[in-house]
Structure 1
Amino acid sequence: RKQHKKDIHAEAAKKRRRTTKKPYSRSIVGATLEVIQKKIAEKPEVRDAAREAALREIKERIKKTKDDKKAKKAEVTKSQKSQGKGAVQ
């Protein structure tokens, strides 16, 4: 039996593949089934437009914070220059 490897061959034949599960859509926390189906069904143009709008809004927000930081930094350096040398606080 061992010489002809009968056991190994028999076990290999017994292995069966697991059946694949069919995709089943159901609601997730925070999104109902209707909302999910709407998102799946929407056209790529609409999706791209929404993405562009979101990116634009994020970029504007980042730019605004950078401008605020720059203005604050300029204000601090201006006040330091006006104090002069050797000033004690």
Structure 2
Amino acid sequence: MTESISFTFCVTLKGEITLGKQPSTNWSFTRKVISELLLRLFQALPPINLTEGSSIKFENNHVQISNIRKNKKGRDETQTEKFKNG
């Protein structure tokens, strides 16, 4: 039977990692897994230039990028692009 290690983490677009709870066992392996996941994630993403009013959401194997901007009439206009990984 293989051992299961659970952990949560947050990643900023600058690549900073914050762990919700550091695993008590096999931290070296966990760090390698996180590195591999991040590498694959950022390779799968299109080039991103976030501006004020933009957001990125990762959900169900999709990356959703939204940009809220004012149109010519001064109303908010949302442009959303969805990318599927894989």
Same fold (TM over 0.5): no
Max radius of gyration: which structure? 1
TM-score tier, shorter chain, comes to: under 0.3
Structure (1/2) with the larger strand percentage: 2
Higher-helix-fraction structure: 1
Larger RCO, structure (CA 8 Å, separation 6 or more): 2
TM-score norm. by structure 1 comes to 0.26
